[in-house]
Amino acid sequence: MKLGFIGTGSISDAVIRGLLTSDYPVDQVIVSRRGERFSTKLAADFDKVRIEDDNQAILDQADMIFLAVLPQIAKDVLSGLSVPKGKKLVSLIATIPIDDMKAWLNTDAQFDRAIPLPPVEHHSCVTAVYPGSPDVMALFDKLGGAVAADTIDAFDGYGTGSALMATYFTLLESAAQWMVAHGSDYGDARRYLAALFSGLAENTNKSPDQSFSDLYDGHITVGGLNEQVAQTFLREKGGAAIHTALDEVFARIKAASSS
pLDDT in tens, 223-257: 999 999 999 999 999 999 999 999 999 999 999 99
The 3-state DSSP class for residue 168 equals helix
DSSP β-bridge partners for residue 67: 6, 91
Alpha helices in 79-162 (DSSP H): 98-105, 134-141, 152-161
Residue 174 CA to residue 178 CA, distance in Å, equals: 6
Q: Hey, what domains does the chain have and what are their CATH numbers?
A: 2-150 (3.40.50.720), 164-258 (1.10.3730.10)
Q: What is the mean pLDDT of the chain?
A: 97
- Going by C-alpha positions, the residue among 137, 42, 52, 40 that lies closest to residue 88 is 137
Instruction: Encode pLDDT of 156-207 as tens digits.
Output: 999 999 999 999 999 999 999 999 999 999 999 999 999 999 999 999 999 9
